[in-house]
Amino acid sequence: MPVERVQSGIYGLDELITGGFPKGRTILISGACGTGKSILCSQYLYRGAAEFDEPGVYVAFDERPEEIRSDMANFGWDIEAMEKKGKLAIVDVTSAKAGVPSEEDHAILPGQLDIDKILVDAISVARNIGAKRMVFDSIPSMAFRMDTVHEIRKGILKLAYISAKAGLTTLITTEAEESPSGVPIKFSRYEVEEYVADGVVVLGLFGGGQSAFRTLHVRKMRGTKHALELHPMEIGDKGITVKKIGGI
């Protein structure tokens, strides 16, 4: 039986993964600071809602929702318009982590910073808007109250299971440690995320200044024939574009 696909919304990426992300799976977006993880996730959600009629939920652990909306506006993505149409929703976890009240419609309270509570609330929001896509940004921030790698692995497994049961294709982000050359030394903060996720997309940033360039590598995609090469990636006015350099 053919694997159902969800268009990524990332220009040039679907051609590398046989037409899109496997539907209902969890995909890890890994990379060091500044490699474009949040932009990729935002593009996935925005184009999904605006162009593919697939509503989405952004669970924000690192940035305030107003910052996310402002950052997205730089690419011409009107998040507020999509929110008003009920096609996008942002769940604010960042304010609770900072111990301050949130003015958002969807927010976790400071006393409710528990992965189970966050998942229940996020899935509830997803059901209310008929979401097909979800983003958790990021795993290290989600795990800040977990004491052991075992707890973190259990939390990620629970996230993947519950979101799949809800019919969501989910992107989760994590930090990757890299060498001075820009090549990742390992693919995740806790070295468990890549084993739990159904797919792993690694973003890189090589060099510095005018000579710096970005890359994207599909490290893993279960049930999918995919390109193995390191591909050049650009962040432009309309978001991320991946340039194909070889066949699959």
Where does the pLDDT of residue 143 fall: very low under 50, low under 70, confident under 90, or very high at 90 and above? confident
Q: What are the φ/ψ torsions at residue 183 (nearest 5 degrees)?
A: -85, 130
What is the average per-residue pLDDT within 219-247? Answer: 91
Domain that holds residue 97: 5-242
pLDDT tens-digit map of 10-69: 999 999 999 999 999 999 999 988 899 999 999 999 999 999 999 999 999 999 999 999
Is 34 within a domain?
A: yes
Neighbours of 67 (CB within 10 A): 13
Write the CB contacts of 158 (distance below 8 Å, at least 6 apart in sequence): 115, 116, 119
Where does the pLDDT of residue 188 fall: very low under 50, low under 70, confident under 90, or very high at 90 and above? low
What is the average per-residue pLDDT within 218-243? Answer: 95
Domain with 47 in it: what CATH number? 3.40.50.300
Percentage of the chain lying above the pLDDT 90 cut: 73
Is 51 within a domain?
A: yes
Is 82 within a domain?
A: yes
Is 248 within a domain?
A: no
Is 108 within a domain?
A: yes
Distance of CA 130 to the CA centre of its chain: 19
pTM to 2 decimals?
0.93
Is 247 within a domain?
A: no
Mean per-residue pLDDT of the chain:
91
Counting every residue, how long is the chain?
A: 248
Helix (H, G, I), strand (E, B) or coil at 213: strand
Residues 135/58, Cβ–Cβ less than 8 Å: yes
Check residue 155 and give left, alpha or beta (phi > 0: left; psi -120 to 50: alpha): alpha
Would you state the pLDDT for residue 195?
A: 85
Q: Helices 149-165 and 115-129, interaxial angle, to 10°? A: 20
- For the record, the structure tokens of 4 come out as 């159902």
Q: Say whether pLDDT at 100 is over 80.
A: yes
Q: Say whether pLDDT at 148 is over 90.
A: no
Residues 127/91, Cβ–Cβ less than 8 Å: no
Structural domains of the chain, count:
1
Residues 127/56, Cβ–Cβ less than 8 Å: no
Residues 226/200, Cβ–Cβ less than 8 Å: no
